[in-house]
Amino acid sequence: MKIFVYNYKDDEKDFFDKISKECNCELKFSYDYPSLENAELARGFEGLSIYVTDMNADLLQKFYDMGVRYITTRSIGVNHFDLEKARELGLKIGNVAYAPSTVANYAIMLMLMCCRRAKYIMQSSSNQDFSLEGKRGIEMSGKTIGIIGTGKIGKTVLRHLMGFECRLIAYDVYQSEDVKEYAEYVDLETLFRESDIISIHAPATKESYHLIDEKAIGMMKDGVIIINAARGDLVDTEALINNIENGKIGAAGLDVIENEYGLYYNDLAPKVIKNRDLAILKSFPNVIVTPHTAFYTAEAINEMIENAIRGCCLFAEGKKNPFEVI
């Protein structure tokens, strides 16, 4: 089978070499995001492997017209696909899975960094400002931490937080009996009102769009810390910025932002970035912004690449793909 891989990175070569031999498939690569301009690179390929990028109706139609029938995304989320168009065309779409501790531990790292003002401390130290002014943090132990979304990642966050001696509360439409061992389920408004730190681990859907908005923030404690290592669309960026500026939000740790497509995973150092919200967020000393890298460990990448390539092969062979979306 022939599979074309977009969003390729040099340090992934060994992983792709290994799985291509195991699955006996031919791989070709592009460092770039898929687009209407470079879609011709995939002509003659049945399968496609991409990362988080805008797979809109026009692009899906283009790939279908060139013979692509199977697309796997090297991510858990699939909100970047026009799934309705994919169903119309009869395209098979698959995602992947990897150890939830990868993102869970990153989210906890962001919590700790926000509590201890790590960004400002590191920036000041790099300028040889070793004073204590403005660098006093807060203890995470003893705080109430609210987790929104208790799937595999949210559940792992809660389990790993048990050692920090925090009060743990959680919200999910579907409650898990396992989670009740670590946390108390509450309604969303209660979570907003009582949490010192809120960490989001919910999927991006029409229903969860701007889950954190002006109204939600208004219910929160003054000085609340918000962590988002899930999807940018879950947080209303305008409301977030406004409430960081007025002091309602004490700090934020953001591995994802709205409208990040085309920015992350590219070297844009010499360019003017067309995302004012990102520029504003990066300017705040109490906001940590990382480029959607919570997933990026050697262990997780190995799993993602293996599951994505194997998924395409399973589709082509007419076998059950455990990560089939449609």
Residues designated as active site: 231, 260, 292
Task: Enumerate the H helices of 24-100 as residue ranges.
Answer: 57-65, 83-89
- From the list 43, 42, 53, the residue with the least C-alpha distance to 4 is 42
**How many Å apart are CA 234 and CA 258, to the nearest integer?**
8
CA 175 to chain centre: 22
- From the list 276, 207, 210, 204, the residue with the least C-alpha distance to 240 is 210
**How many Å apart are CA 140 and CA 132, to the nearest integer?**
19
* Residue type at 40 in one-letter notation: E
**How many Å apart are CA 68 and CA 2, to the nearest integer?**
10
β-sheet with 197-200: strand ranges across? 184-185, 167-171, 144-148, 197-200, 224-228, 249-254, 287-289
* Residue type at 137 in one-letter notation: G
CB 152 within 8 A of CB 300: no
